[in-house]
């Protein structure tokens, strides 16, 4: 658990540039974008496989989180996540049209766990999950929980107060939602070890929280 005064928040999902621009106009917010490592340019030239790109994105997100962890501003926003590939591979497991199996997820999980155990990153204080609004109010939250979404499913089941859904139909609304969420973050227990988070994801079914929406939405 970090000890500095800044609250580190990862923005998960597709983050429009307008959202980042609007959020960082606040004097209380500093943005920490991931920086592309030199190896990524070489990989593009050499035509290396997607696994190399996955490792680069993990390293870039981890480095951005490290910089955010040294921030002195009240809120440090990071539009990247070391668990992004884990989340994508977990969601792919539930694509019934492809039925890829757990191998890709386990590989991504092993890479993330190795980086975490090596001290390259720790989880942020909070995740804000940006999602396009397709239904109103509680129905959106129920749909999000039951769909195969890593952040709103297994991750939020581990620590409900540390994963916040920010729905909107327009970037301006999402930007306002992000700022509102930052001012409404609730305290709660710190994250367990990443190994426990991964184990929860292994045993989690997308519809397993269907009866607990009111708890998760609080």
Contacts of 3 (CB under 8 A, 6+ apart): none
State percent of the chain over pLDDT 90. Answer: 58
* Per-residue pLDDT tens over the stretch 34-88: 987 655 444 444 443 445 567 899 999 999 999 999 999 999 999 999 999 999 9
The pair of three-digit structure tokens given for residue 77, joined into one six-digit string: 């926003």
Note down the domain range covering 21: 7-216
Q: Would you say residue 178 lies in a domain?
A: yes
Q: Would you say residue 84 lies in a domain?
A: yes
CA dist., res. 54 & res. 82, Å (int): 10
The pair of three-digit structure tokens given for residue 201, joined into one six-digit string: 């994801």
Q: Would you say residue 81 lies in a domain?
A: yes
Q: What pLDDT, on the 0 to 100 scale, is given for residue 13? A: 84
Q: Would you say residue 1 lies in a domain?
A: no
Q: Would you say residue 190 lies in a domain?
A: yes
Into how many domains does the chain fold? 1
The pair of three-digit structure tokens given for residue 156, joined into one six-digit string: 């939020």
- Dihedral class, residue 137 (left if φ above 0, else alpha if ψ from -120 to 50, else beta): left
Q: Would you say residue 2 lies in a domain?
A: no
Paired sense of beta strands 75-78 and 126-132, if any:
unpaired
Q: Would you say residue 155 lies in a domain?
A: yes
């Amino acid at each position: 658990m970090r000890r500095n005064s800044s609250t580190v928040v990862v923005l998960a999902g597709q983050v429009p540039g307008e959202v980042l621009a609007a959020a960082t106009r606040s004097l209380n917010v500093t943005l920490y974008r991931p920086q592309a490592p030199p190896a990524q340019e070489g990989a593009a030239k050499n035509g290396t496989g997607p696994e190399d790109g996955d490792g680069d994105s993990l390293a870039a997100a981890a480095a951005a989180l490290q910089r955010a962890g040294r921030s002195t501003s009240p809120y440090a926003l990071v539009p990247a996540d070391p668990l992004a590939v884990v989340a994508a591979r977990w969601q792919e497991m539930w694509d019934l049209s492809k039925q890829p199996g757990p191998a890709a997820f386990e590989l991504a999980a092993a890479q993330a766990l190795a980086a975490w155990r090596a001290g390259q990153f720790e989880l942020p204080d909070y995740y804000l999950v940006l999602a396009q609004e397709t239904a109103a109010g509680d129905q959106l939250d129920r749909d999000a929980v039951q769909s195969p979404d890593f952040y709103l499913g297994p991750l939020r089941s581990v620590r409900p107060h540390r994963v916040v859904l920010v729905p909107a139909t327009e970037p301006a609304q999402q930007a306002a939602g992000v700022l509102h969420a930052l001012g409404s973050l609730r305290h709660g227990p710190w994250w367990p070890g990443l190994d426990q988070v991964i184990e929860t994801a292994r045993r989690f079914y997308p519809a397993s929280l269907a009866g607990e929406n009111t708890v998760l939405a609080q």
